[in-house]
Structure 1
Amino acid sequence: RGTVAALAAEEVARSWGCRQIEAGVDGDAEAGTRLAQVLGYAVRNRTMAKPLGDAPPALPAGSRARPMTPEDFAAWHAYESERYARTWMERGVPEADAHAKARRDHEVLLPQGAATENMLFSVLEHEGERVGVLWLALREDRAFVFDVEADAPHRGRGHGRTLMLLAEAQAVTSGRSLIGLNVFAGNTAAERLYESLGYETTRYSYCKPLL
């Protein structure tokens, strides 16, 4: 029955001229996952989450965080917008559409830029040198990591893990008991990092081209 319904949905989408169809499956829905795979859907990204304790985790010795300066934010925002657009282009979205999506999403999420309420933008430093950045959103019942990235010259040295500990510390300090994030398929290093920190998949997003 599920297969028939899914195939019918694909035919409707084709009749509307859609080039791609998307589907969401809960992380623990094994039957839904099997059906998506049988029908040729590929994982595009997944949402992960982790419950937090009462005490914020400590950062490693030599690491500290500071808020982004206006100059930090301007440079980061330009870079992040382009990177976000390219992420969608790599998944088949036309260039113009990908850049439009990047602009639209950032306008919705950051209507006041760095001053947008409940958005935290941080720079991680180690031994006095900048090594990465973090964008954390504080939602009503949880925190959400929108961007976490070690700077290119400092990757492979554990700073990604430190940035995630920083995100968890900020979430706990702000009174949130749950933290979530999104990770695109193919980002194996990030997936392994999140899993090693205790994050579990709550939802898979699938997509399939319509020929």
Structure 2
Amino acid sequence: MTTTLRPTGPLQQADDGTLSRSYEVCVNSRPVGVVRVGTLRARGRPLGTISDLRVDEADRGRGRGTVAALAAEEVLRGWRCDRIRVSVPAGAPTALRLATALGYTENGHVLVKDLGSAEPAPPPPAGLEVRPMTEAESARWIAADPGRAALLPDGPATAGTHLHVAVRDGVRIGHLWTGRRDLPAGERVPYVWEIEVVEGERRRGHGRALMHFAEGLVRAGGGDRLALRVDPANTAARSLYASLGYRLLSSDYEKALY
């Protein structure tokens, strides 16, 4: 029997140039499941994504999902992707086994927090101020990393973007970049793209203060969830986010296409 993908609609292109398309997974033209492929803006070539891969229960255990994932990879090769990311939901052992069997390796955790009602944030460390980046600061900051320019096509004016710096006693010690991003399930939510505190100022509560500031921005804008991505090896950051009430939504696994 032959497993193939059949488009269920036209190729979609978003305003930022990213692509997406949904397919039926078919066995000898008989639909047995679905899968969605897409791209994300990234440094260099677009980053491919495979999501919402599902096979009907009666057709599971026969390799349909594996063949569908490999076929989706071929679609993304045609879209000039050289890397693919799949997001494995927390508590999904079957999806995890499939990803690892196909050569994907873990490289990120997506965390989310339901903000609920507004809570007064604790006072920031003495002398700490969080303020918007100036035009000159944002220009230098974006120019320092080509990947930022790709994700901020209109600079600090990119829709939904907020760029802030943390200053302690007049000295810049960190920055915060917040905006919006699509979660693997397709929900677009407020997102922490970057948060950083310089090495000599860490472990003094500045990162916690920046996260409280980010949550305040979301609440002020009428949002009730905040998501971010963390390196699984960054134990200090993971500990901070856990203490703030962030929970694991999914784990990102990536694979290089050759």
Aligned counterparts of 2:90 and 2:152: Cα–Cα separation in 1: 27
User: Which one has a larger percent helix, Structure 1 or Structure 2?
Assistant: 1
Unaligned runs of 5+ in 2: 1-59, 182-186
Q: Would the alpha carbon gap of residues 116 and 207 (structure 1) be closer, same or farther in structure 2, given more than 3 Å must change?
A: closer
Give the Cα–Cα distance (whole angstroms) in 2 for the partners of residues 21 and 117 of structure 1.
Answer: 26
- Give yes or no for the alignment of 1:206 onto 2:246: no
Q: Which amino acid aligns with 2:200?
A: P
Contact kept, 8 Å, 2:125 with 2:206, in 1: the verdict is: no
What are the residue-to-residue correspondences of 1:86-165 with 2, within 5 Å? 103-107=149-153, 111=154, 113-137=155-179, 142-165=189-212
| Higher RCO (C-alpha 8 Å, min separation 6) | 1
Matched AA of 1:57: A
2:122 to 58, 71, 75: 58
Distance 2:61 2:231 in 1: 26
Matches of 2:180 and 2:252 in 1, distance apart? Answer: 23
Report how far residue 178 of structure 1 moved.
0.8
Q: CA deviation at 1:142?
A: 4.1
Which structure would you say has the larger Rg?
A: 2
C-alpha contact 1:49 1:178 (8 A) present in aligned 2: yes
| CA distance, structure 2, for counterparts of residue 14 and residue 3 of structure 1 | 20
Of 22-31 and 166-175, more deviation after overlay is shown by 22-31
Deviation at 1:149, TM superposition (A): 0.6
Shift of 1:201: 1.6
Shift of 1:72: 1.5
TM-score of the two chains, using structure 1 as the length reference: 0.72
CA drift at 1:50: 0.2
TM-score, scaled relative to structure 2: 0.61
Contact 1:125/1:131 (8 A) holds in 2: yes
Q: CA deviation at 1:199?
A: 0.8
> What residue number does 1:45 align with?
108
**Structure 1 Cα separation of the partners of residues 133 and 84 of structure 2:** 38
Q: Distance in 1 between matches of 2:213 and 2:70?
A: 46
1:170 is the counterpart of 2:234: no
Could you say which residue in structure 2 is the equivalent of 1:74? 139
What does the per-residue CA deviation read over 1:109-136, in whole Å, with 9 as the maximum and x for residues that have no partner?
xx2x112332211111233432211111
Q: Which moved more, 1:144-153 or 1:53-62?
A: 53-62
Structure having the higher strand fraction is 2
- Return the offset for 1:193: 1.9
Match in the other structure for 2:20: none
Structure 1 letter corresponding to 2:94: A
- Aligned residue-pair number: 188
Distance 2:107 2:134 in 1: 33
How many Å separate the matches in 2 of 1:153 and 1:103? 27
CA change 1:24–1:123 in 2 (3 A) is same
